Structure 1
Amino acid sequence: MSQSYLFILMNFIPFSFLPSATGNECVCDLKNLDPVFPNDKLTKVETTALKCIRSITSEKMTDLDRLLLGLKQRMKQLEDNVVELEKENSKLYAAMSLRIIELEYAEIQDLVNKLNRTTNDYYHLNVQAAAQLEDMKNTMVELLKFDKMQVIKKNRENQIKKNLEQYKEELKASSPPPTVSPGRCGLGQLVNVAGPRITSPTPYGTSYPYGAWGRDVKPAPGDENKYWLVVLTSSNVYGYYVRQYSTLSTLLLGLGPIDTYIASSNPTTNTIQGSNMVMYANALYYNCYNTYYVCQFNLSTRSVSTVALPSDTGYNSKFPFGHLGTTYSYTDMDFATDELGIYVIYATTSNFGNVIITKVETSNPPVFKKTWFTSLLKTSVTNTFMVCGVLYATRYLDKDTEQIFYSYDTKTKKERYDLKINIKKMKTNIEYLNYDPRDRLLYVYSDAYIVTYELVFQ
């Protein structure tokens, strides 16, 4: 045995030296004096962690927020109704208003009861989880003693160094977002996306991953608090009615929806195709079924007006949104609202599949106004939205992050590909995204969840 190997053994491995019978060779009798690794403890930690993950799901963690938000909205509605009741002169109308208030009070009491039960469940879950986490922490500290070579510690240090270098490179590469002229909207630079502010499964549950929701950007007097929801219930592609709720809380809780039907069956002529649509002045704008036409559905008259885009416009998933992992079916046309009105975003073969922006005049029937051509390939984008006449496009980074990476200013006709504004996702895919200038929120439909984000301007 060489001296170098013998030195290593003497320094790292406890052993006893036993000479052989012939005296010409040595035999090392190795004895491991370290305690046996407690594999059963590691298995217990893994099992406990799995149980925690199953008991503390993202759906459960949002229940309390939903109930609190719903209670807040209902209390505000009750307060407004009481004020209206105090103004009533007619005994008949006063009696009807009082009955409405009684019903709302019963709903609020039901919300309070649910909130109490949920809070109590959370308390017990918190106590149990805290005890389990403390036990797992102590076990892991004990197991770390077996890491003689400090491999885990070094891996952590290397990962921290790697992350720091990555952040430094991102800061160097990132340049300021475009400045929106104060004369147009007065918002300044879009610098961040905060949130999510609201996240909840739709009243339909989690069965339908494609859909859209939001508020009417130009509501009729008295409809300012209404919310609309369209879920593509047929093959995740088609829809034929709009569901409306009187307030956000009634939407979150699925109370008292009003359905307005475009047609009696689905799909058929002029029904909804694809998840990208907007509501403006009590009319829904969307891609007409199986055509390159834009549909305007008036919810008051239940009538549909149409206008054709260029004949080489993509539809039926010719130029859909998507990323390397998947495509978002039938998203050839995207409708967007901002402070200046409505736009339709699409692509044509004559423009080589690149994004085109067209302003929509909300007459009856609608007509198209000015059009802008970009160099942005539509199929490389996951979503678009408009703010003050500026188009923003997003891309998929990973299952947790979406990124605003592109902008096109319709006033200056300047486009940029160097934006790096990240959006923290609650679910893997974002099937619908639109900006509401009334509250400066992004309304998102993400894998059967309705979500909002706040745009932060400098």
Structure 2
Amino acid sequence: MKLYVIIPLCALLTLTQQAPPREKCACELNNSEKAFPHGKLRIVETNASDCNSNITPQKTVELESLLLGLERRLSQLNKDVLILEKEDDGELYGVLSLYVIENEMTEIKQLIDKLNSTTQQHQILTANATEQLDNLKAEMQELEKFDTMQVIKGQQVNSALKADLFKCNKKLNTTVTPTEPPQGTCPRSRLLNVTGPRVYTAGEYPGSYAYGAWGRDPRPEEGKESWYWLVMLTSSNIYAHYVRLYSSLSSLIIGVSVPGNVQIHSSNPTTNTIQGPNNVLYGGALYYNCYNQDYVCRFNLTTKSVTTLQLPKGTRYNSKGNFCHLEECYPYTDLDLATDESGVWVVYTTTQDFGNLVLSKLEEGEPPVLGKTWRTSVYKRAVTNTFMACGVLYATRYINREVEEIFYSFNTVTGQERFNIGIFMNKMSTNIQSLNYSPVDQMLHAYCDSNMVSYKVLFG
């Protein structure tokens, strides 16, 4: 039995070894379709990316800022000329008024020159961009011919269907917004949206002094209603020792500071000079975090005197209670001063409150007095900035390099907290170092990586 099995196996092995080798088989494949031009697609992608980088939101906002500054400057000039016509005594008053008007006209000319230069640059950019877009459109239409499976056409049909479905759902789900009682301490209703930016300027020192604050005085002295103020942290992005004043928005945009600097102290930093970027001007006085102390300083711009207010025991200072997001913290933002229709507020945190935001009202005076205090349940290191509007505290958080979200509010009248505000702000640069609301014109003034940006606040 065993022999019967072995013999066929040996025979099979012999036959296999003696079999002639197989011949190789080859076939020819002919593709009737043209090869896809990957190189051309890469060129189109590069051109589209270059076009996007050349046309940025800053270009449009820069032009809008200049036009807005010119509009306000011309109205101010008109008022000054009318006053001169009525009150000219032909002597010293007339000479001084003419001198003021001459300076204003010089500023307007500088603003118009900058506007003309910007407009010419934008016209060239527009012409180049139009040509590039036409070329890109033609190239993409050419590349669509290679879409033999009609993928692009299908996507276009799907997009149209989604748009129609969205419109249909919107009509079906339309409801009347319930009437809400006014929030806070002013007649305006709740905050609905923030639009803009309306103003975007690098000012006198483009790219310098990354940290600072700017804005308007909500209760200005007579004759200073159109003034703007600016504080730049000129030493290590931490300290400052003067506030810089501008007679109008156009002066600030073109970088002409009149009347100039009001100095707190000749040294920087030293006792009672500014620490941190979150400062405000109210009633002709600058409020800020005193150097190396858990104090609020009040600097009177007229008398040049400084008075101080110590915050409650356990208040964090010297960069121990900063605003933060996941990627970084903003140093020396322990105290955030804010203004609204009712006055000055201070936002801070203490060891007793485990890092949650604390809000206190500052009562006016020399020195100021700490008024009523509210405690919140929002953790400060999860917040990038705060501001007050109509007695309501709002907090923002970092979404990405282009977007910041107003996500939280605390109503000082009702004590109600909300974590779902969901108002998004388009940023002109990555970081917002300070943010403050101006009730004079319902604007949010932001200092962003050495640039001054403002947004319009819309209430219900």
TM-score tier by shorter-chain length is 0.7 to 0.9
Residue 58 (structure 1) shift: 4.5
Residue 255 (structure 1) shift: 0.9
Aligned pairs for 1:49-128 within 5 A? 49-53=48-52, 55-86=54-85, 87-128=87-128
What are the Cα deviations for residues 146-199 of structure 1, in whole angstroms up to 9, with x where unaligned?
Answer: 23445566678889999999xx9xxx9xxx899553794121122211222212
Residue 241 of structure 2 corresponds to residue 240 of structure 1: yes
- The residue that corresponds to 2:139 in the other structure is 139
3-state SS of paired residue (2:302): coil
Residue 397 (structure 1) shift: 1.7
- The residue that corresponds to 1:3 in the other structure is none
Judge which range, 124-133 or 280-289, deviates more: 124-133
Aligned pairs for 1:321-360 within 5 A? 321-360=323-362
Residues 53 and 403 from structure 1, CA distance in 2 versus in 1: closer, same or farther, beyond 3 angstroms?
A: closer
Judge which range, 423-432 or 358-367, deviates more: 423-432
Once residues 156 and 290 of structure 1 are traced to their aligned partners in structure 2, the CA distance between those partners, rounded to angstroms, is 61
Residues 100 and 411 from structure 1, CA distance in 2 versus in 1: closer, same or farther, beyond 3 angstroms?
A: closer
Aligned pairs for 1:313-392 within 5 A? 313-392=315-394
Residue 330 (structure 1) shift: 1.0
Once residues 442 and 214 of structure 1 are traced to their aligned partners in structure 2, the CA distance between those partners, rounded to angstroms, is 8
3-state SS of paired residue (1:196): strand
Aligned pairs for 1:25-44 within 5 A? 27-44=26-43
Residue 300 (structure 1) shift: 1.1
Residue 410 of structure 2 corresponds to residue 408 of structure 1: yes
Once residues 265 and 161 of structure 1 are traced to their aligned partners in structure 2, the CA distance between those partners, rounded to angstroms, is 66
Judge which range, 312-321 or 148-157, deviates more: 148-157
Is the contact between residue 279 and residue 285 of structure 1 (CA under 8 Å) also seen in structure 2?
yes
- The residue that corresponds to 1:219 in the other structure is 220
3-state SS of paired residue (1:372): strand
Residues 273 and 106 from structure 1, CA distance in 2 versus in 1: closer, same or farther, beyond 3 angstroms?
A: closer
3-state SS of paired residue (1:74): helix
Work out which of the two has the higher radius of gyration on C-alpha atoms and give 1 or 2. 2
Aligned pairs for 1:387-398 within 5 A? 387-398=389-400
3-state SS of paired residue (2:430): coil
- Identity, % of aligned positions: 50
Residues 35 and 393 from structure 1, CA distance in 2 versus in 1: closer, same or farther, beyond 3 angstroms?
A: same
Residue 47 of structure 2 corresponds to residue 45 of structure 1: no
Matched to 1:217, the amino acid is P
Judge which range, 48-57 or 234-243, deviates more: 48-57
Judge which range, 260-269 or 353-362, deviates more: 260-269
1:293 corresponds to which of 292, 295, 299: 295
Greater length-normalized contact order (CA 8 Å, ≥ 6 residues apart)? 2
3-state SS of paired residue (1:28): coil
Residue 323 (structure 1) shift: 1.0
Let me know the Cα RMSD of the aligned residues: 3.0
1:277 corresponds to which of 263, 276, 279: 279
Residue 36 (structure 1) shift: 2.8
3-state SS of paired residue (2:420): coil
Once residues 270 and 156 of structure 1 are traced to their aligned partners in structure 2, the CA distance between those partners, rounded to angstroms, is 63
Matched to 1:144, the amino acid is E
Is the contact between residue 180 and residue 188 of structure 1 (CA under 8 Å) also seen in structure 2?
yes
Residues 148 and 448 from structure 1, CA distance in 2 versus in 1: closer, same or farther, beyond 3 angstroms?
A: farther
Residue 251 of structure 2 corresponds to residue 250 of structure 1: yes
Judge which range, 202-211 or 107-116, deviates more: 107-116
Matched to 2:111, the amino acid is L
- The residue that corresponds to 1:188 in the other structure is 189
Judge which range, 150-159 or 355-364, deviates more: 150-159
Once residues 81 and 380 of structure 2 are traced to their aligned partners in structure 1, the CA distance between those partners, rounded to angstroms, is 51
Matched to 1:198, the amino acid is V
Matched to 1:388, the amino acid is C
1:267 corresponds to which of 261, 266, 269: 269
3-state SS of paired residue (1:398): coil
- The residue that corresponds to 1:433 in the other structure is 435
Residues 127 and 355 from structure 1, CA distance in 2 versus in 1: closer, same or farther, beyond 3 angstroms?
A: same
Is the contact between residue 180 and residue 186 of structure 1 (CA under 8 Å) also seen in structure 2?
no
What are the Cα deviations for residues 292-336 of structure 1, in whole angstroms up to 9, with x where unaligned?
Answer: 111111111212111111231111221111111211111111111
Is the contact between residue 307 and residue 366 of structure 1 (CA under 8 Å) also seen in structure 2?
yes
Is the contact between residue 431 and residue 447 of structure 1 (CA under 8 Å) also seen in structure 2?
yes
Is the contact between residue 184 and residue 413 of structure 2 (CA under 8 Å) also seen in structure 1?
no
Could you tell me which runs of 5 or more consecutive residues in structure 2 were left unpaired when the two chains were aligned: 1-19
TM-score normalized with structure 1 length = 0.85
Residues 162 and 267 from structure 1, CA distance in 2 versus in 1: closer, same or farther, beyond 3 angstroms?
A: farther
Judge which range, 199-208 or 313-322, deviates more: 199-208
Once residues 89 and 99 of structure 1 are traced to their aligned partners in structure 2, the CA distance between those partners, rounded to angstroms, is 15
Once residues 243 and 183 of structure 1 are traced to their aligned partners in structure 2, the CA distance between those partners, rounded to angstroms, is 32
What are the Cα deviations for residues 236-269 of structure 1, in whole angstroms up to 9, with x where unaligned?
Answer: 2111110000011101111134101111122222
Residue 125 (structure 1) shift: 2.5
Once residues 57 and 121 of structure 2 are traced to their aligned partners in structure 1, the CA distance between those partners, rounded to angstroms, is 15
Could you tell me which runs of 5 or more consecutive residues in structure 1 were left unpaired when the two chains were aligned: 1-20
Q: What is the number of residues matched between the two proteins?
A: 430
Matched to 2:423, the amino acid is I
Matched to 1:91, the amino acid is E
Residue 352 (structure 1) shift: 0.8
Residue 118 (structure 1) shift: 3.2
Residues 345 and 117 from structure 1, CA distance in 2 versus in 1: closer, same or farther, beyond 3 angstroms?
A: closer
Is the contact between residue 195 and residue 454 of structure 1 (CA under 8 Å) also seen in structure 2?
yes
- The residue that corresponds to 1:207 in the other structure is 208
Matched to 2:230, the amino acid is L
Once residues 394 and 184 of structure 2 are traced to their aligned partners in structure 1, the CA distance between those partners, rounded to angstroms, is 19
Once residues 132 and 261 of structure 1 are traced to their aligned partners in structure 2, the CA distance between those partners, rounded to angstroms, is 51
